[in-house]
Structure 1
Amino acid sequence: MAKRQQREIHKGSVKTLDNDYVRSNTDFAKSQYEKKQKVLRSRRMLVFFVFAAIVLAILANAASNQKERLAEKEEKKAEVLAELEAVKEQQAMLNLQITKLEDDEYIAKLARKEYFLSEEGEIIFTIPTEDKEQQDEKQ
């Protein structure tokens, strides 16, 4: 507050000189002020660009992580779809077997084949398989 009062007092009583030295001195002060402002502006811009670079790096990292996770999930999806197809095929085969088992003739034929059951007057002959022949030869 005291400085302001002193300036007001000096304003009316003190007159500035208008010569080359004073003008060059004020020009020098202006140029110094402008240089200082330019340095401050460049520092602000540097801080802004560093901040922007950090934000971009974080975003790029997040995008990369999401891309990796998406690739993993796509791979898992492909595996699950392949498994689903296998289960559907198995289900279709089981449904076919169920329909066959509902037929009495098929059940009789299966019982004769698997359990060596026979109808009246029928004779069952067993033919050794290659595995049994090889086992017999080894013994």
Structure 2
Amino acid sequence: MAAVQPKNVAKIETSYVQQQEYSDHAAAKKKKKLYRRLSVFFVFALFVAYSMVSSILSQASTLDEKVAQKKQYDKQLTALKNQQNSLKQEISNLNDDDYIAKLARKEYFLSNKDEIIFNIPDGNKEK
């Protein structure tokens, strides 16, 4: 077999061929512009998606911090309410004369008339 020789084909220069080349060239430009618009839209969509996801994650972390802080404040509130109740009880006890007399005998070793106070050491401290 002989070597394949390139064929020399001349181009037909008619108005129909020129219109077809122009329409092919215009279609190629439209396709190129479409790809550019789609790529710009895709980049914009990625940017919007990234900003939305980062916003959601930051809000979630802030919400977790707020929930933990709320739990801590609830514990403090419970402790303060307990302290308030004990202080109210102590106020009502301090308005009672019998309680004040008992407290004075216990803390300050005061006695009534004709009473003798004996100080007995605790057995647990020595052991």
Q: Judge same fold: TM > 0.5, yes or no.
A: yes
State how far apart, in whole Å, the 1-side matches of 2:98 and 2:108 are. Answer: 15
Aligned equivalents of 1:52 and 1:116: distance in 2?
Answer: 83
Q: Which has the higher helix share?
A: 1
1:124 deviation in Å?
1.6
Q: Does 1:59 align with 2:52?
A: yes
Q: What is the RMSD of the two structures over their aligned residues, measured on CA atoms?
A: 1.7
Post-superposition offset of 1:20: 8.5
Distance, in Å, in 2 between the alignment partners of 1:24 and 1:126 is 126
In 2: Cα distance, 1:127 partner to 1:35 partner = 109
Corresponding position of 2:68: 75
- Match of residue 32 from structure 1: 25
Q: Which runs of 5+ in 2 are unaligned?
A: 1-11
Q: Tell me the equivalent position of 1:122.
A: 115
Identity %: 40
TM-score by length of 1: 0.76
Structure-2 separation of matches of 1:44 and 1:80: 53
Distance in structure 2 (CA, Å) of the matches to 1:112 and 1:103: 15
The answer for the alignment partner of 2:41 in structure 1 is 48
User: Any stretches of 5+ residues in structure 1 without a counterpart?
Assistant: 1-18, 135-139
1:106 counterpart = 2:124: no
- Could you tell me which residue of structure 2 aligns to residue 5 of structure 1? none
In structure 1, distance between residues paired with 2:23 and 2:37: 21
Q: Residue type matched to 1:38 in 2?
A: K
Moved more, 53-62 or 104-113: 53-62
C-alpha deviation, 1:22, in angstroms: 3.0
